């Protein structure tokens, strides 16, 4: 579609990127997997996928200077969507198997192992969508596909008036953890929209519909 908004998927060495590009295109975006810094900076939306260990994803992001793109976009109020470990690295730290790795620090908090009897958390689960969520509009009661052993299990960012508080969506697996966050231009999901069937496509479509026009 000629009027489809341009969504750049950050190509920095993380896996599972092609299914994300395909799902974004199905959801109505002109989706492009790219490492071109100009395209990444200027696209209407940027998607940051992530698969594997927190430390490995952070190493890949820093090696490709992807963290600089994310920071510059957010400083300019330009939308970014993190997926799975692409959500986790937005927090200050990730602790996996005793390794404490510094994250991007966009949000305070630490990503830790889920408090559940069986790990990893694999499969479909419902979520408790936050009030006034854009991502979950019309799909509040749907199920989404998770594959992870770690997550953000608390939220400590205190947003005061006149700033808009973030929309937090929670999921329960052993104990509550954050399934998604919508915080100004920065959104993220712990689950995989691209693996979540029609509900995942609808979520991506909701995000795409919120992107600025003219890019």
Angle at 137 between CA 28 and CA 166, to 5 degrees: 105
Q: Note if 102 is an active site residue.
A: no
SS (H, E, C) 91-148: EEEEEECCEEEECCCCEEEEEEECCCCCCCEEEEEECECCCCCCCCCCCCCCEEEEEE
Q: Which two tokens stand for residue 18?
A: 């092609």
Mark whether 194 is an active-site residue: yes
Catalytic residue among 67, 84, 148, 171: 84
Measured CA to CA, the distance from residue 191 to residue 213 in angstroms comes to 27
Please tell me which residue in 67, 121, 148, 192 is annotated as part of the active site: 192
Instruction: Establish whether 84 is a catalytic residue.
Output: yes
Cα-Cα-Cα-Cα torsion 166, 172, 173, 176, nearest 10 degrees, comes to: 50
Among 67, 148, 182, 194, which one carries the catalytic annotation? 194
What residues are annotated to the active site? 84, 192, 194
């Amino acid at each position: 579609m000629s009027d489809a908004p341009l969504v750049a998927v950050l190509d920095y060495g993380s896996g599972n990127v092609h299914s994300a590009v395909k799902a974004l295109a199905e959801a109505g975006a002109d989706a492009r997997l790219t490492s071109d810094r100009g395209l990444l900076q200027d696209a209407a939306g940027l998607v940051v996928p992530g698969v594997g260990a927190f430390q490995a994803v952070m190493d890949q992001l820093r090696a490709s200077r992807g963290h600089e793109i994310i920071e510059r976009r957010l400083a300019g109020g330009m939308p970014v969507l993190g997926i799975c470990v692409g959500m986790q690295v937005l927090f200050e730290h990730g602790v996996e198997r005793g390794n404490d790795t510094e994250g991007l620090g966009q949000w305070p908090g630490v990503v830790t192992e889920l408090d559940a009897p069986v790990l990893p958390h694999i499969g479909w689960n419902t979520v408790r969508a936050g009030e006034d969520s854009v991502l979950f509009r019309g799909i509040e009661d749907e199920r989404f596909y998770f594959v992870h052993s770690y997550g953000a299990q608390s939220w400590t960012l205190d947003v005061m008036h006149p700033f808009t508080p973030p929309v937090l969506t929670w999921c329960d697996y052993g104990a509550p953890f954050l399934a998604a966050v919508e915080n100004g231009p920065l959104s993220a999901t712990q689950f995989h929209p691209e693996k979540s069937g029609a509900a995942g496509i609808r979520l991506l479509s909701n995000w795409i519909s919120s992107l600025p026009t003219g890019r």
